[in-house]
Amino acid sequence: MFVQTHREINQKLVAEAVRHFPEGDSFVELYAEREISVCISPSVMKKASSPKPIRLLAMRCEKTCRIGKKTLDIRHEPDTSTVRFLSERPPAPLLLADPPRSGLKALFPLFASAPPRRVLMISCHPMAALRDMAALVHDFGYVLKTVTPFDMFPQTHHLEVLAVLDR
């Protein structure tokens, strides 16, 4: 599981992200390397970019999450498999993504076939985020609602951003 070193700022980022979740709706979290969404919604599909976060997330859920009737589907698979899996289902009300610097490009077929109503994108690379936001707006009909910066690493040039886009 990926957790930022600046705990206080990370908590603010998580709180801001959660503020934009549709009430009671299910959602999909892709590139799930943060502790954001494990127990928020009745139905969650998380996809991590490497197997280690998947193992840690599964262990954490067993120990600390009260899932009850909630469904938590945790996967580690190529982006193409995730796009195929999600495209065969109704569009998710919310997609939460924290992609690597390479961005969301591998997921663009999903936005064409089963576009979620809302996208929350977290990025540690503002220029990569800008590139992805531009594609979501111009190519897939999303409207950029907010972009919130988080100075996760004070006194460095690194900046996390949270973008909210609606369709």
Task: Count the neighbouring beta carbons within 10 Å of the beta carbon of residue 84.
Answer: 14
* Contact criterion met (CB below 8 Å) for 116 and 93: yes
- List residues with catalytic annotation: 124
The β-bridge partners of 161 are 123, 149
